C-alpha cells in the first residue's frame, strides 16, 4: 500500500468517525420568561424578522441548516452560536440588568444600522436573512421604542 | 434601646470607613487615558486604554465592598467590562469604539458618584455627539477636549457638573 493510499484511508476513517460525535443542539422547547418579547412589546412582524435574521446565533433556538448534519460543520456552528449567545441572547434578555439591557439595545441598533449584523458570512448562506431597508427601519423603530420604555421604567 | 442606637451608630461608622478605603483610581485613570486618546483621534491608544481598563476590572478586589456597594459595583462592572473589551478589540475602528465610549462614560460616572473619583472631575456634554443624540464624558480638566469629535471639533461642548 502506498503512503498516499494510507493517508486517504485514515482520513476517510477519521471523517466517518467524527460523524458520531455531535455537540448538543441549541434547542430549547420551553418558552423563556426572560425572552425579549416578554420584556418589551414586540409585534409579530418584528418577531419574524428577529427569528430569521438574528435568532440562529442569538437565542436558545437555532433553526439548523441541512449541512449541519455533516461533521465538522456542526462543531463550527456550535462554537459560533456559543460566541453569539455570549454576546447577546434574546431568549435571556430579561436576565440582564437594566443597564445592560439598554447597552444591548444600543449595540443592536448600531449593528443593524451599520450593516454589521447579520454577518455577511451568515447572509451568504441564509439569503432570507438579508434585511431590506423597510425591515431595518422596522427593527430600528422597535429598538427605539424598547429603549424608551425601559428608560421610563427605570 | 441605648445599646441598639450604639450598635447602629457603630455600623454606620464602619460603613463610612470602608467606603473611603475603596479606590477606583485605576478605572478613572484608564478611562481618562482613553478619553484623551479619543480627543486626539487615536484609535489604537484608546484600544490600549480599553485593555487596561478591562484588566483593572478583572483585578479589582471586591471583598472590601459592603453588600450595597457590591450591588452597585457589579451592576456597572458587567456592562463596563464589555464596553472596555470592545474598545480594546476595535483599534482601527474609532467610530465603533466611540459608540461604546458613550455608554462606558455613563458607567464610569456612576462608579465615580458611588465611590468617589479620588480627584476633581468634570462632566462635559456635547449635544451633537452620538449622531445628534448628545453624549457626555468625564474630564480631569476644565477645558473642553471633545473625545467624540476629536480634532474636527475639539472644543465643542460644555461643562455640566463639577464632581469633587
In-domain check, residue B12 = no
Residue B21 pLDDT: 58
pLDDT interval class at B111 (50, 70, 90)? very high
Which ranges constitute the DSSP H helices of A19-70?
36-39, 44-53, 55-58
Are A99 and B82 a contacting pair at CB < 8 A?
no
For residue A79, the Cα-to-chain-centroid distance in whole angstroms is 12
In-domain check, residue B143 = yes
The full set of domain ranges for chain A reads 25-153
In-domain check, residue B17 = no
pLDDT interval class at B17 (50, 70, 90)? very low
What sign does the CA torsion over B149, B55, A86, B88 have? positive
In-domain check, residue B52 = yes
* Residues B111, B113: Cα–Cα separation, whole Å: 5
Q: Specify which residues B20 forms β-bridges with.
A: none
Q: Indicate if the pLDDT at residue B33 is higher than 90.
A: yes
| Residue at grid coordinates 426572560 | A34
Split into its structural domains, chain B has a count of: 1
In-domain check, residue B86 = yes
In-domain check, residue B45 = yes
- Among A103, A110, A114, select the one facing B79 at the smallest CB separation: A103
* Residues A79, A92: Cα–Cα separation, whole Å: 19
pLDDT tens digits, residue range A23-76?
888 888 777 788 998 888 899 999 999 999 999 999 999 988 888 888 788 888
Grid cell locating B77: 462592572
CB atoms within 10 A of CB B132: 7
Are B103 and A110 a contacting pair at CB < 8 A?
no
CA dihedral (A37, A39, A40, A42) in degrees, to 10, reads 10
For residue B104, the distance in angstroms to the closest alpha carbon of chain A comes to 9
In-domain check, residue B13 = no
pLDDT interval class at B18 (50, 70, 90)? very low
Are B75 and A97 a contacting pair at CB < 8 A?
yes
Tell me which residue range forms the domain holding B65.
23-163
Amino acid at each position: 500500500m502506498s503512503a498516499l493510499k494510507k493517508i486517504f484511508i485514515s482520513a476517510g476513517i477519521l471523517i466517518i468517525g467524527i460523524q458520531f460525535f455531535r455537540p448538543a443542539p441549541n434547542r430549547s422547547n420551553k418558552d423563556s420568561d426572560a425572552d425579549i418579547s416578554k420584556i418589551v412589546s414586540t409585534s409579530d412582524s418584528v418577531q419574524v424578522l428577529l427569528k430569521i435574521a438574528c435568532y440562529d446565533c442569538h437565542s436558545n433556538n437555532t433553526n439548523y441548516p441541512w449541512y449541519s448534519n455533516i461533521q465538522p460543520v456542526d462543531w463550527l456552528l456550535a462554537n459560533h452560536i456559543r460566541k453569539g449567545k455570549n454576546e447577546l441572547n434574546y431568549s435571556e434578555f430579561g436576565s440582564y440588568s437594566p443597564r445592560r439591557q439598554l447597552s444591548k439595545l444600543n449595540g443592536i441598533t448600531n449593528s443593524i444600522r451599520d450593516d454589521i449584523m447579520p454577518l455577511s458570512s451568515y447572509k451568504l448562506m441564509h439569503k432570507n436573512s438579508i434585511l431590506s431597508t423597510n425591515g431595518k427601519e422596522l427593527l430600528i423603530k422597535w429598538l427605539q421604542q424598547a429603549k424608551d420604555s425601559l428608560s421610563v421604567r427605570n | 434601646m441605648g445599646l441598639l442606637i450604639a450598635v447602629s451608630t457603630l455600623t454606620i461608622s464602619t460603613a463610612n470607613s470602608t467606603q473611603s478605603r475603596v479606590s477606583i483610581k485605576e478605572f478613572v485613570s484608564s478611562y481618562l487615558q482613553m478619553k484623551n486618546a479619543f480627543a486626539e483621534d487615536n484609535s489604537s491608544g484608546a484600544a490600549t486604554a480599553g485593555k487596561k481598563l478591562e484588566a483593572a476590572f478583572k483585578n479589582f478586589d471586591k471583598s472590601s465592598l459592603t453588600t450595597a456597594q457590591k450591588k452597585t459595583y457589579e451592576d456597572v462592572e458587567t456592562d463596563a467590562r464589555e464596553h472596555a473589551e470592545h474598545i480594546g478589540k476595535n483599534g482601527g475602528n474609532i467610530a465603533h469604539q466611540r459608540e461604546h465610549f458613550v455608554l462606558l462614560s455613563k458607567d464610569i460616572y456612576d462608579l465615580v458618584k458611588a465611590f468617589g473619583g479620588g480627584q476633581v472631575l468634570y462632566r462635559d456634554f456635547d449635544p451633537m455627539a452620538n449622531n445628534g443624540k448628545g453624549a457626555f464624558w468625564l474630564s480631569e480638566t476644565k477645558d473642553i477636549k471633545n473625545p467624540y469629535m476629536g480634532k474636527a471639533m475639539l472644543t465643542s461642548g460644555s461643562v455640566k457638573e463639577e464632581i469633587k
